[in-house]
């Protein structure tokens, strides 16, 4: 088996001419900064969540089989150079982008933090070290996808979001937003990469409170800690000076909370145990 690449969270190996092995780690990143600290059990949760969603969603995907607690086998395919983001709530980067006039909201939408949008919106980005939001016209003019592909991705991504949101709601969670990736397999657009807490925001319904920062059962917990302690600003300042941001140590209590919440979300949504 040949090692191909190491990403923020998973390592990728070539099994044969048709398949790859994804090995999920306990690594964590936030604001495009990799941390030295690890989150115990995270890799196992990501791997098992990927298996669950690929098997649950009625969408063609590249999942083949589970290899171990932290490994899955997938089919090789040519990935599309666009990240398909669906937003169901007014939260995260969407807030500042709306204030700067960079994104429009559905008609009649409230601009109170964490409000549910009247309908989910498709808000894709480029794939790069620092993802850049792109609209339909930009996606087509930059040759990321064709007009037909953009429209298909928009419709299918929202369908997947709605399905996942329904499943999450039954388990006591709100799916605030979601990032999906697609590729081409035998000429057909196919769902790929992985789907788990690094690809969405998940909030417990019991503590949901419009107008406030929400409890995060995903890596948003780390982002919120970084922002509250001024590290997000430090990262931005470093990049503006052409320097690579330096990751701080993650407090033990944040690491413990993240592990507990990853496991809790998985067990409640899937009905399985870790």
* Span 211-259, pLDDT tens digits: 999 998 988 889 999 999 999 999 999 999 999 999 999 999 999 999 9
Cα–Cα distance measured from residue 45 to residue 40, given in angstroms and rounded to the nearest whole number = 10
Confidence check: pLDDT of 174 > 80? yes
Confidence check: pLDDT of 32 > 90? no
**Torsion of the alpha carbons at 44, 235, 101 and 113, rounded to the nearest 10:** 50
Phi/psi at 82 (5° precision): -150, 140
Cα–Cα distance measured from residue 45 to residue 54, given in angstroms and rounded to the nearest whole number = 14
Confidence check: pLDDT of 130 > 90? no
**Torsion of the alpha carbons at 53, 56, 57 and 61, rounded to the nearest 10:** 70
Query: What are the chain's domains?
Result: 2-75 (3.30.200.20), 78-242 (3.30.470.20)
Least confident residue range of 18-22, 127-131, 154-158, 266-270 = 127-131
Question: Are 126 and 143 in contact, with CB atoms under 8 Å apart?
Answer: no
Tell me the pLDDT tens digit for each residue of 139-172: 999 999 999 999 999 999 999 999 999 999 999 9
pLDDT at site 206: 97
Cα–Cα distance measured from residue 233 to residue 260, given in angstroms and rounded to the nearest whole number = 28
Averaged pLDDT of the chain: 95
Stretch 57-74: mean pLDDT: 97
Find the length of the chain.
274
Give the three-class secondary structure for 233.
helix
Cα–Cα distance measured from residue 67 to residue 71, given in angstroms and rounded to the nearest whole number = 5
Stretch 100-127: mean pLDDT: 93
pLDDT at site 89: 97
Stretch 189-193: mean pLDDT: 97
Give the three-class secondary structure for 126.
strand
**Percent of the residues in the chain that have a pLDDT greater than 90, as a whole number:** 91
């Amino acid at each position: 088996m040949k090692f191909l690449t190491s990403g923020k969270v998973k390592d990728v190996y070539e099994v044969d001419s048709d398949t790859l092995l994804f090995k999920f780690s306990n690594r964590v990143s936030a604001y495009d900064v990799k941390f030295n600290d690890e989150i115990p059990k995270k890799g196992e949760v990501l791997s098992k969540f990927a298996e669950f969603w690929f098997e649950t969603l009625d969408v063609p995907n590249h999942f083949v089989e589970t290899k171990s607690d932290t490994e899955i086998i997938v089919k090789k395919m040519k990935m599309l150079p666009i990240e398909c983001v669906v937003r169901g709530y007014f939260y995260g980067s969407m807030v500042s982008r709306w204030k700067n006039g960079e994104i429009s909201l559905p008609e009649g939408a409230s601009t109170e933090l964490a409000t549910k949008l009247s309908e989910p919106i498709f808000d894709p980005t480029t794939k790069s070290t620092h993802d850049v939001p792109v609209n339909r016209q930009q996606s087509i003019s930059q040759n990321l996808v064709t007009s037909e592909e953009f429209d298909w991705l928009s419709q299918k991504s929202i369908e997947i979001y709605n399905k996942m949101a329904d499943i999450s709601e039954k388990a006591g969670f709100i799916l605030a937003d979601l990032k999906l990736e697609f590729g081409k397999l035998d000429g057909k657009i196919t769902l790929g990469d992985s789907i788990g807490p690094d690809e969405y925001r998940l909030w417990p319904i019991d503590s949901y409170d419009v107008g406030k920062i929400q409890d995060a059962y995903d890596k948003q917990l780390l982002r919120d800690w970084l922002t509250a302690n001024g590290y997000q600003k430090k990262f931005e300042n470093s990049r503006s000076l052409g320097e690579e941001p330096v990751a701080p140590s993650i407090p033990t209590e944040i690491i413990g909370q993240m592990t507990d919440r990853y496991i809790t979300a998985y067990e409640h949504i899937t009905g399985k145990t870790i």
